[in-house]
Amino acid sequence: MPELPEVETTVNDLSITVINKKIIGLWSDISSFPKVRALTIKGVYRRGKNIILNLSSKKKILIHQKIAGHLLFGEWSFEDGKWISKDELLREKVNSYIHFVITLNDGKMIALSDPRKFAKMEIWDGKKLDRKMSNEIGPDPMEIDLKEFKKRITKKKSIIKTVLMDQSVISGIGNIYSDEILWDARINPYKRPKDLDIDRLFRSTKKILIKAIKLKGDSTSDYRLIDGTKGGYQKEHRVYKREGLSCLRKDGGIIERRKLGSRSLRFCPVCQK
DNA sequence: GCTGCTGTTGGCGG
DNA sequence: CCCGCCAACAGCAG
């Protein structure tokens, strides 16, 4: 679920609070960490949907929240095998599936709540991680121009819905925002890249992502800000989760939902030709 | 209680 | 190489 706007919000909010603090403990109930002691967090960055903590001594922590994971910031105590927070928001069910905790030298913690245990947190050699990222993850749409966007998108032969979500082409877009972007651009999700107005697609891509960042992401499902509050984009859906309802362009279209492999896509059959 | 749906990534097979 | 499919997991709606 966390796509570019959610990860961007998390990274912005985290960097305000954790930069120059020291890590004094790493805990997880699903993976083991190598010994690290007293490493300082030098920076917090986003690469596509990945969160990267730059540490002193050339190490980096790579966090991917996958589908249902989200980072939180606060204080917890470990009681009877569970992490308990005094903060009411952080005790909400969606925030209670804690599988990773980074403890900082001021007693605060970064925790990852993830009911489905897909999310990962790993310590990497900085150089190795940089190489992996540049090999596997394309630029995000905010940092390239139309020419580069067009070049990358039209290289692919799959339907545009799939290409938009291909992290090696451009990074950061998942199921929700690709549905919303294609509706905004009036593009049918099954069209091939060579057949479309890429200029319009590019403008809609940036427009939707910028709007979603402004609203601090989409909390339809598990995603929360690091203090446990909700983002606002779920109130702005035009097609996502609107199957069976009238298209908001009032063109007489009823939003359709179709299967694409094991996931689903939504679109208006009238305005998305 | 059971089934189906959820959404990201990586691995597998064609 | 490129593409499409599906498992990994667990909660939740119906």
Confidence of residue A33 (pLDDT cuts 50, 70, 90): confident
Nucleotides of C under 7 A from a protein CB: 2-12
Scan residues 173-192 of chain A and list those with Cβ within 7 Å of strand C: none
Scan residues 106-145 of chain A and list those with Cβ within 7 Å of strand B: 116, 118, 136
CA trace torsion A205, A206, A211, A213 (10° rounding): 100
Which protein residue has its CA closest to C1' of C9? A116
d(C-alpha A1, C-alpha A219), whole Å: 9
Predicted local distance difference test score (pLDDT) of residue A14? 96
- A90 exposed, middle or buried (CB, 10 Å; 0-12, 13-18, 19+)? buried
Q: Which nucleotide is nearest to A48 (CA to C1')?
A: B8
Predicted local distance difference test score (pLDDT) of residue A74? 97
Contact flag, residue A63 CB and nucleic strand B, below 7 A: no
Q: Which nucleotide is nearest to A165 (CA to C1')?
A: B8
Which protein residue has its CA closest to C1' of C6? A262
Contact flag, residue A178 CB and nucleic strand B, below 7 A: no
Which protein residue has its CA closest to C1' of C5? A261
- From the CA of A152, how many Å to the C1' of B2? 45
Indicate if the pLDDT at residue A35 is higher than 80: no
Say which residues have a Cβ less than 8 Å from residue A160's Cβ, sequence separation at least 6. A153, A182, A187, A189, A190, A191, A192, A193, A196, A201
d(C-alpha A156, C-alpha A179), whole Å: 18
**Which two tokens mark A134?**
């540049």
Output the average pLDDT for chain A.
94
Contact flag, residue A222 CB and nucleic strand B, below 7 A: no
Indicate if the pLDDT at residue A37 is higher than 80: no
d(C-alpha A36, C-alpha A121), whole Å: 14
> What is the pTM for the complete model shown?
0.96
Which contiguous run of DSSP H or E holds residue A178? helix A175-184
d(C-alpha A195, C-alpha A210), whole Å: 26
Contact flag, residue A261 CB and nucleic strand C, below 7 A: yes
Predicted local distance difference test score (pLDDT) of residue A26? 94
Which protein residue has its CA closest to C1' of B6? A263
Contact flag, residue A116 CB and nucleic strand C, below 7 A: yes
Segment A115-147, tens digit of pLDDT: 999 999 999 999 999 999 999 999 999 999 999
- For a pLDDT cut of 90, what percent of chain A falls above it? 92
